[in-house]
Structure 1
Amino acid sequence: MIGTIKVVQVNSINKGDFYHILFVPSEQNQNFAGYKKSLSNQPCLLVTESSGMAKNGSMINFKDVDGKLRFEVNTKTLESSGLKMSQELTRFGEEIN
């Protein structure tokens, strides 16, 4: 079954809003803690693109390493939200606990 993917840009997140995946661009880092808190009781994949964000609770954080796109995976945050990532995908990223 193929579902519909809907991409929306949001300026704020309220308790009760539901997202499967939330990408927080670097320009919105100052709002990350609030987004994370608003989505804390649901299985939402939080994805960022700034240094140190995996340690701050992002589940997947993209980063540039010598001109190549790499990613970090915060397995602790993933598991606490009820989400799981395959071992195959995890081994390609840098695991952050």
Structure 2
Amino acid sequence: MPTLPGPSKHQHQSPARSLRDGRVPSCARRFRLGALTLLCFSLCSLLPSHSLALSDSDELEAKAAFIYNFCKYIDWPADRFASSSSPIVITVFCHHFTYDACDAFDTIRGKSAGGRPLEVRLVKKADEIGTPHILYMCGSDRDHAGRIPESYRTQSILTVNDLDPATRCGGAIISFLSVDNKLRFQINLRAARKSGLKISSQLLKLATDVVE
């Protein structure tokens, strides 16, 4: 099956800059995220090996779309939510945020999964992480983002990172991989069980590798 081409690089002003200048961001970017989300999951489910060719500029946006969809395939313990309407909190940890990172995760704000709204937090310091439902250790900071602190591995937190192919380490439940310029992910079931999370078999089928 031919490789799907990556989305063309957007030329418009970033939402972060637009908001800072007092202008409303274009709705075209949100429409584009919807298309990218469908490519990431709906089409991937039809492929024998989950993959999607991406340009560098769209990588973070694609990962944000993936993380949004992960919410639909994860069961957290009931006591992780104060009520049936409590949000799914997604914390993105990165020492050095760029406009691209802010723009990418801004596109999933206001969305919902499993009847719960998503709450996205971007933090730069470890003591600001708290106890979210999803923790993404952004791989733009390789010295700090790759490894998941031990304290977060038993708190029913879906930990996500960018796996270093050279060391294959990190301790996350889900790790993004780049293989031949294609975005993939692997799942560590052992880490998921340790955290008390249940992962849908549908998501397991989309993973390029499942660690038992």
Q: Give the secondary-structure state (helix, strand or coil) at the position aligned to 1:27.
A: coil
Which protein has the bigger helix share? 2
Corresponding residue for residue 38 of structure 1: 151
> Matches of 1:61 and 1:40 in 2, distance apart?
14
Aligned 8 A contact 2:153 2:194 in 1: no
Q: How large is the Cα RMSD of the aligned pairs?
A: 2.6
Alignment partner of 1:95 is 2:206: no
Distance in 1 between residues matched to 2:125 and 2:184, nearest whole Å: 28
Alignment coverage as a number of residue pairs = 96
Larger radius of gyration: 2
Q: 1:3 to 1:86 in 2, by over 3 A?
A: closer
Contact 1:54 1:72 in 2 (8 A): no
What 5-or-longer segments of structure 2 have no aligned partner?
Answer: 1-84, 86-114
Residue 69 of structure 1 aligns with which residue? 183
Q: Identity of aligned pairs, percent?
A: 26
C-alpha distance 42-3 of structure 1, shift in aligned 2 (>3 A):
same
- TM-score, length of structure 1 as denominator length: 0.77
| Preserved CA contact (<8 Å) 1:54 1:96 | no
Q: Encode CA deviations 1:39-86: one digit per residue, 9 max, x unaligned.
A: 233100011123248643111111122222111101100111000111
The answer to whether residue 80 in structure 2 is matched with residue 5 in structure 1 is no
Query: 2:134 maps to which residue?
Result: 21
- The 2-side partners of 1:77 and 1:54 are apart by 14
Q: What is the letter of the counterpart of residue 210 of structure 2?
A: E
* Structure 1: gaps of 5 or more residues: none
Within the candidate set 47, 54, 60, 2:160 is matched to 47
Corresponding letter in the other structure for 1:24: M
Aligned-pair CA distance for 1:96: 2.1
Please give the secondary structure, in 2, of the residue aligned with 1:26: coil
1:30 positional shift: 3.1
TM norm structure 2: 0.39
Aligned to 1:80: 194
* 1:13-56 superposed Cα distances (whole Å, 9 cap, x missing partner): 34x921000111113443354x5223233100011123248643
Structure 1 pair 95/54, CA: closer, same or farther in 2 (3 Å)?
farther
